[in-house]
A and B are shown apart, each in its own frame.
Chain A
Amino acid sequence: MRPSWKRLVAVALSLSLLVGLGWAALAPINVASRDALFEIPPGTSARRMAGEDLDILPQTIRLTLGVNDVLVLRNADRVPHIFGPTLIMPGQSFRLPFVQPSTYSFLCTAHANGQLNIIVEPAPAPGWQRLRWRWRSLIDKGGG
C-alpha cells in the first residue's frame, strides 16, 4: 500500500497547527515594549487657543499587566500641559508603571467630568486567555 501524500501533508499541517496553538496558548508573553504611549503633539496649545476641541487622552485607558502596563505620557508641545494625572513640562515624559490589576481614577482637568480612569487588567493566563490575546495582537498587527 503506497502512502497517500495528501494524507501525509494533512497530518503535517494538523500537527503544525496543534504545535502552533499549543505554543500560542502556553508560551509566556514577551512583548517588545510595555509602554502605552500617549503624546501631546506639537502645536496643541495653539490649536486649543484657536478654539479647536482636542481630545488627546481617552476618558478611560485600558492596560494589561505584562503586556502594556507602563503608562507613558509625553508632552511634545512648547508649553506645559496638565496631561492625565500630572503636569508635564515641554519635552518631558511621565512614565508610570502599574503592578496591580485595579481601576485607578485621577483628577484630570483635561476631561469634561474632571476624571481619568485607568483600568489595569491582569496578565493573560496560560490557555484560552493567552491564545485570545495572541490572536487579537495578530489581527491588530495585520490591520496596521
Chain B
Amino acid sequence: MIAGANRRIPALAGALLLALLLAGAIIAGLSRDAAPQAAAVADAPARPWAMRAGAFDPPHAAPEFSLSGSDGTPVTLARYRGKVVLLSFGFTYCATVCPTTLSTLAQARKGLREAADAVQVVFVTVDPARDDPAHMREYLAAFDRSFVGATGTSDALAAVRTQYGVTAEKHGTGPDYVMTHTSSIFLIDRAGKLRAMMPFGHDPADFVHDVKLLLAE
C-alpha cells in the first residue's frame, strides 16, 4: 500500500505539471495578440483619443463664414479667434433636439465657471424664413445670454451647411412645418481649427471635459 502510494505521488505531480503547461499554452495562445499592440496604443499620442467627442485627425481649419448675428454684428469665426467655439445648427421652432442641445451647452458653460468666457456658442439656423436675428436673440437668451444666433439667405446658409457636411430638410407645409437636421455640435479650437464633433445626446460634463482639453493647449 505504502509503496503504491509513493509511486502515485510523482505520477500525480507529473499530471498536474502537464495540466498547468497545457493551460498556460491555451491562455498564451488565446491572448497572444494583445500585449505588443496594447503597448503600441499606449505609446501613441494621447490627444485625439482623450476627447469624448469624435476627433478629427489631423485637424483642418474650420470653414469660415459670414452671417447676420442675433447681436446685430456679423458672425464670423475670425471674430471668436482665441475662444473655443461650439457651433450647432438648428431652428428656434424645433420641439426637442435644439432646446436639449442649447440647454446642455448652457449647463456646460456654467460648469466651466471662470473659463466660460473663453467659450462662444454659435447657433446657425436652418430655417431663415422664421428665424430672424431679433427672434433668435430672444429665443437664445432664454438659455444663455452669451449665445449668438446666425442667419442669412437660404443660399448662404446652405453653403455653410455644405462646408460642414450638415444636412437640413423641410417636412410639411403651412406654418407648422418642421426641419430635420444634423444634431451634432462642432468644436472649434482657439486657433480656428475644427477639432471635433460631439454627437447629440452627450452630457454637459462631456462638453466641459473636451472644452477644458482645448483651452489647456
Residues of chain A touching chain B, judged by Cβ–Cβ distance below 8 Å, are: 1-3, 5, 8-9, 11-13, 15-16, 19-20, 23-24, 27, 30-33, 70-71, 80, 82, 85-89, 91-97, 99, 104, 106-107, 109, 114, 134, 138, 141
Contacts and interface: CB of A to CB of B under 8 A. Distances in A.
B30 A138 contact: yes
B15 A86 contact: no
B199 A106 contact: yes
A96 B54 contact: yes
Chain B interface, DSSP helix/strand/loop, else mixed:
helix
A87 B164 contact: yes
A85 B60 contact: no
Contacts of A106: 184, 199
A1 B23 contact: no
Interface residues of B, number: 47
A94 B54 contact: yes
Contacts of B14: 8
A107 B180 contact: yes
A7 to B, nearest CB: 9
Contacts of A71: 54
Given A20-B23, A89-B60, A109-B167, A33 B15 contact: no
Contacts of B52: 97, 99
A72 to B, nearest CB: 9
B138 interface: no
B188 to A, nearest CB: 14
B207 to A, nearest CB: 14
A11 B60 CA distance: 63
Nearest to B60: A89
Contacts of A20: 22-23, 26-27, 30
A104 B200 CA distance: 9
Contacts of A80: 165
A107 B182 contact: yes
A55 to B, nearest CB: 19
